[in-house]
Amino acid sequence: MALSNNMRHLAKQAATAALLLSGYSGIAAAQNTTSQPTATSSSTACASILTPSYSPPVAAEGWSAQLIATGLSNPRGMVFDSKGALLVVESRVGITRLTFNDSGGTCLSVASKETIVSDLGLNHAIELSDDGRTLYASTSESVYSWPYDPDRTTVENRRTLVHNMNPGGHPTRTLLLSRKVPGLLLISQGSAENIDPLAADRSSGLSQIRAFNLTNMTDDPQPYNYASDGLLIGWGLRNSVGVAEHPVTGGIFSVENSADEIHRRGQDIHEDNPGEELNFHGYLNDSSSFGGNYGYPNCFALWNTSDIPERGNLTVGSQFVIDDSVNEAITDETCARDYTPPRLTFRAHMAPLDIKFLPSSGSRAFISFHGSWNRDQPAGYRVSSVFFSESTGQPTEPPDSITAAVDVLYNPDLSVCPRGCLRPAGLAFDPATEERLFVSSDATGEIWVLRQTSPAPDPTSTWSASLSTDANGGRGPTSSAAAGLGSRSGFGTDGGMMGWLTTIMVAVGCVFVAMI
């Protein structure tokens, strides 16, 4: 006899829990060209290079950057296939496969361009299985998979894996395939509005990250229902567009886009508050470490400590209430006591869209800051990095740091943004070398490549000690030799699994239909 819907939900959650318990690998060790390089090229000029129609972004010391593809339709997420081709989600197109003529360094040019999936609804996310044979992408309502042949560059038989996500509000549904628990897919869904009362309801599925066991779908081909079938990794997350797994420890991190147009005690504080967040969600082999509530829609992270009434003891990263908080009974004190604070906080409205760790060591995480719309003075529009400890898998900076994010690629003049500048969206490391990081710019329809030309400075060295926050809050070297890095305006003050699994198994065996 077929299981009821509730029983099917429990069975699927039990299968996901079993996968986490047994499958976790443990904490492991047409284009205008010019013959001259742009200001961001490496010292060795390419034979021919593309020139952007706007003032080019500037690469930080130790990096070079080059525009390598133009004419795309709002490119967002990217991933490399097993043949070294770059698969890109293009809005109102689908998924495009790009190959490059590679002359080394940042000297790349498009060799071929092919649409392999035509789907106007795909808008952001893309993933690829470890064997390179299954492709994943999402619309605002559903997540799909396709068998993918990288040799013939063909896809077949689209399958719906997860559905019934809310189509309103924030449309991106970020995907992350765990490399520590093969077959586990994490999906992030944002809020339906700026301050969304429904997000306070755990059962809504809004403002959450949930995990789904794809290996179980061979036995039950019906799609998962997002809000009821997924294992809750974190909630109270307004819009966590970027999600990443630390390659060594397996820790799950996300970067959150926080609220706009907020007031506190009748005062407009939206220019520099609340901050954007880097949140830590625990480890997939430890059920007691995930499932936390991060405060939204009631509590928000403080960035500018000088522009908030009744500050009290609040510091950078402290959670506080606003005039539009959904639950009037919640105070700054209950925010601190009952909700999980961010691991790091970034300047307000910079809109982080992606986060990628150095694949081998996880010693740095790179974040694309898409850029603000809800500020009088623009902020963001850059790619930055955060240093991580290789042993702990945590940021080296404390939670109240205002200098944790270091610019790697940035626009020299934010006054022309958003229309006349780079707007970073997706990130992808070259699988052949960690020295190259590919960056999509949706607003300009471009792909850039960043290449690391010298080792990153030790964050505990004297170079790091000389870093300061400029008048606009940016972090950069203070020496005159670093003056060429330009103006910065992006950062600154401006239960064990076994017990849980057993509970679910008993519930299924006893036909206990109450949801966990």
Residue by residue, what is the 3-state secondary structure of 384-422?
A: EEEEECCCCCCECCCCCCCCCEEEEEECCCHHHCCCCCC
More confident residue, 43 or 317: 317
Q: Are 248 and 254 in contact (CB under 8 A)?
A: no
What's the rounded Cα separation, in Å, for the pair 344 and 319? Answer: 12
What's the rounded Cα separation, in Å, for the pair 221 and 27? Answer: 32
Q: What does the pLDDT read at residue 470?
A: 35
What's the rounded Cα separation, in Å, for the pair 57 and 445? Answer: 15
| Contact partners, residue 59, CB within 8 Å, separation at least 6 | 40, 65, 408, 409, 450
Q: What does the pLDDT read at residue 147?
A: 97
144: phi then psi, degrees, rounded to nearest 5: -120, 160
**Structure-token match 């790349």, residue found:** 108
What's the rounded Cα separation, in Å, for the pair 343 and 349? Answer: 17
Q: How many CB atoms lie within 10 A of CB 32?
A: 10
Q: What does the pLDDT read at residue 31?
A: 36
Pairing of strands 224-225, 159-163: parallel
DSSP code of 316?
T
Band of residue 16 on the pLDDT scale cut at 50, 70, 90: low
Q: Three-class SS of residue 334?
A: helix
- DSSP bridge partners of 49: 34
Give the pLDDT confidence of 150-204 residue by residue, as tens digits: 999 999 999 999 999 999 899 999 999 999 999 999 999 999 999 999 999 999 9
Residue 511 has pLDDT above 90, yes or no: no
Q: Are 290 and 234 in contact (CB under 8 A)?
A: yes
What's the rounded Cα separation, in Å, for the pair 269 and 6? Answer: 45
Nearest residue to 38 (alpha-carbon basis) of 77, 64, 4? 64
State pTM to two decimals. 0.84
More confident residue, 383 or 494: 383
Q: What does the pLDDT read at residue 166?
A: 94
What's the rounded Cα separation, in Å, for the pair 166 and 141? Answer: 6
Question: What is the rounded average pLDDT of the residues 261-289?
Answer: 94
Band of residue 354 on the pLDDT scale cut at 50, 70, 90: very high
Residue 377 has pLDDT above 80, yes or no: yes
283: phi then psi, degrees, rounded to nearest 5: -120, 140
| Contact partners, residue 386, CB within 8 Å, separation at least 6 | 278, 344, 364, 365, 367, 395, 397, 404, 405, 406
Q: Are 59 and 65 in contact (CB under 8 A)?
A: yes
CATH superfamily assigned to domain 5-24+65-509: TolB, C-terminal domain (2.120.10.30)
Nearest residue to 383 (alpha-carbon basis) of 399, 398, 371? 371
Which region holds residue 219: left if phi is over 0, alpha if psi is between -120 and 50, else beta?
Answer: alpha
- Copy the structure tokens of residue 477: 């070297």
Domains of the chain, residue spans: 5-24+65-509
Q: Where are the alpha helices (DSSP H) in 327-371?
A: 332-338
Pairing of strands 240-245, 300-301: unpaired
What's the rounded Cα separation, in Å, for the pair 245 and 283? Answer: 9
Give the pLDDT confidence of 389-403 residue by residue, as tens digits: 999 999 999 999 999
Band of residue 286 on the pLDDT scale cut at 50, 70, 90: confident
Band of residue 12 on the pLDDT scale cut at 50, 70, 90: low
Q: How many Å is the maximal CA-CA distance in the chain?
A: 76
Q: What does the pLDDT read at residue 38?
A: 41
Give the pLDDT confidence of 419-459 residue by residue, as tens digits: 899 999 999 999 999 999 999 999 999 999 999 998 866 65
What's the rounded Cα separation, in Å, for the pair 37 and 30? Answer: 18
Band of residue 485 on the pLDDT scale cut at 50, 70, 90: very low
